């Protein structure tokens, strides 16, 4: 039980260093799809039971409702060099999982915020989170077929993005396309201008 | 209906950890790489730590992967792994965070790796 893994399931033997990049974005923006497209192994998930105190805490009655929800967090792996592996974690998008997302960002190298142009306003929570965590990040517009297309400047304005923050357009289902968001993030961390061409 | 204690699952989460509710160290991350110390005896280990060691023996895995393969909640895995690290059964390597990237060499390696994929 549990020990029927193949060699490919394990990290190559000489790998002794890992880095973590967190993928954020609102519910349904394509985080699971993204992690699945980029991962070299079938994407996996961890589960966590989250206990939350109910909103109504009444001192008089002394009743304190507790509800338990299961959070599923997708993750994937990319072996980058013979001694370095990258883990990608898709953070749950709903507001109620914020404490878990904050914890997840701890120890991360950087973050990607996936954006849907049909619901740009729903990206603010994620952007606020990475900024408050002080993580380097890139914005990746997941280009859904029926989504309106805006110029980069329009997106930057609506998201009040710093000019230095990379903005890329990707198709989260396609590995090479999805990978470009990671390249933009790391290039930017190296202080290199990331030359983005139209998709 | 009584509002007494309710059982919410088959096994209470502290059972596989031997009654311990918190990890003994705070440095264990989802992306922490775990390696087995081959010299260490597995005899005397509780069933769940034993399963973790069996899983990790053939090669390296991150904490998140151990959780996934053993179908254990992440917090439970963290507690078990923390003990195995304390006892020297496992060696843990934390991921490199943004704050400690002082030189560009690591970023260059990441970028080269991404381009080569």
**Out of A87, A187, A190, closest to residue B31 by CB:** A87
Q: Would an 8 Å CB–CB cutoff place B107 in contact with chain A?
A: yes
pLDDT of residue B15: 59
Q: How far is A186 from chain B (nearest CA, A)?
A: 6
pLDDT of residue A48: 78
pLDDT of residue A67: 58
| pLDDT exceeds cutoff 90 at A12 | yes
| Tokens 């890139």, residue located | A138
pLDDT of residue A69: 66
**Out of A18, A47, A186, closest to residue B107 by CB:** A186
**A19-34 average pLDDT score:** 94
In percent, the amount of chain A with pLDDT more than 90 equals 65
State the helix-helix crossing angle for A124-133 and A98-105, rounded to 10 degrees: 40
Per the CB < 8 A criterion, the answer to whether A70 and A47 are in contact is yes
pLDDT of residue A171: 96
**Distance, CA of A90 to CA of A33 (rounded, Å):** 9
Tokens found for residue B47: 């069933």
pLDDT of residue A2: 45
Per the CB < 8 A criterion, the answer to whether B73 and A49 are in contact is yes
| List of chain B residues whose C-beta atoms are within 8 Å of the C-beta of residue A5 | 55, 58, 69
**Distance, CA of A35 to CA of A150 (rounded, Å):** 25
Note the pLDDT tens digit of each residue in A138-166.
999 999 888 888 999 999 999 999 889 99
Residue numbers of B between 20 and 79 with CB closer than 8 Å to A: 29-33, 51, 54-55, 58-62, 64-65, 67-71, 73-75
Grade residue A198 by pLDDT with cuts at 50, 70 and 90. very low
The answer to which of A90-94, A104-108, B85-89 has the lowest mean pLDDT is: A90-94
pLDDT of residue B24: 59
Domains of chain A with bracketed CATH? 16-189 (3.40.50.300)
Note the pLDDT tens digit of each residue in B76-90.
999 999 999 999 999
The answer to which of A15-24, A87-96, A110-119 has the lowest mean pLDDT is: A87-96
**A41-46 average pLDDT score:** 84
**Distance, CA of A87 to CA of A108 (rounded, Å):** 10
**Distance, CA of B15 to CA of B29 (rounded, Å):** 22
B115–A18 C-beta distance less than 8 A = no
CA neighbor of A91 nearest in space, from A63, A77, A111, A116: A111
pLDDT of residue B27: 75
| CB neighbour burial string for B73-104, b if at least 16 within 10 angstroms, e if fewer | bbbbbbbbbbbbbeeebbebbbbbbbeebeee
| pLDDT exceeds cutoff 90 at A114 | yes
Q: Would an 8 Å CB–CB cutoff place B102 in contact with chain A?
A: no
| pLDDT exceeds cutoff 70 at A59 | no
Residue A162 neighbours by CB under 8 Å, 6+ apart: none
> How many Cα atoms sit within 13 Å of A56 on the Cβ side?
5
| pLDDT exceeds cutoff 60 at A54 | no
Residues of chain B with pLDDT under 70: 1-26
Q: Which residue of A has its CA nearest to B103?
A: A190
Give ∠ CA A176-A149-A126 in degrees, rounded to 5: 70
Q: Which residues pair with A142 in a beta bridge?
A: A170
Per the CB < 8 A criterion, the answer to whether A115 and A50 are in contact is no
DSSP B34-86: EEE-TTS--TT--HHHHHHHHHHTTSBEEHHHHHHHHT--HHHHHHHHHHHHH
pLDDT of residue A70: 72
Per the CB < 8 A criterion, the answer to whether B49 and B60 are in contact is no
| pLDDT exceeds cutoff 60 at A66 | no
ipTM above 0.90, yes or no: no
| List of chain A residues whose C-beta atoms are within 8 Å of the C-beta of residue B112 | 80-81
Grade residue A42 by pLDDT with cuts at 50, 70 and 90. confident
């Amino acid at each position: 039980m549990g020990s029927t893994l193949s060699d490919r399931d394990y990290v190559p033997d000489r790998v002794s260093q890992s880095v973590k990049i967190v993928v954020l974005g609102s519910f349904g923006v394509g985080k699971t799809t993204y992690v699945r497209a980029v991962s070299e192994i079938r994407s996996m998930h961890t589960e966590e039971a989250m206990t939350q105190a109910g909103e109504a805490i009444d001192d008089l009655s002394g009743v304190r409702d507790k509800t338990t929800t299961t959070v599923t967090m997708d993750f994937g792996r990319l072996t980058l060099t013979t001694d370095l592996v990258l883990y990608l974690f898709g953070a749950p998008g709903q507001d109620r999982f914020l404490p878990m997302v904050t914890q997840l960002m701890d120890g991360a190298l950087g973050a990607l915020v996936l954006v849907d142009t049909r619901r740009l306003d729903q990206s603010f929570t994620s952007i606020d989170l990475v900024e408050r965590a002080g993580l380097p990040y890139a914005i990746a517009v997941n280009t859904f077929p029926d989504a309106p297309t805006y110029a980069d400047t329009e997106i930057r304005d609506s998201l009040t993005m710093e000019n230095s923050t990379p903005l890329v357009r990707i198709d989260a289902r396609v590995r090479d396309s999805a990978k470009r968001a990671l390249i933009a993030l790391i290039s930017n961390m190296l202080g290199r201008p990331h030359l983005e061409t139209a998709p | 209906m009584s509002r007494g204690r309710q059982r919410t699952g088959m096994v209470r989460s502290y059972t596989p950890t031997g009654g311990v509710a918190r990890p003994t160290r705070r440095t264990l991350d989802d992306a922490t790489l775990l390696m087995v110390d081959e010299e260490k005896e597995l005899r005397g280990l509780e069933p769940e730590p034993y399963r973790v060691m069996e899983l990790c023996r053939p090669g390296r895995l991150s904490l998140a992967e151990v959780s996934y393969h053993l179908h254990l909640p992440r917090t439970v895995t963290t507690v078990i792994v923390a003990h195995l690290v304390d006892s020297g059964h496992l060696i843990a390597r934390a991921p490199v965070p943004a704050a400690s990237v002082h030189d560009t060499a690591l970023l260059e390696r990441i970028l080269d790796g991404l381009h080569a994929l």
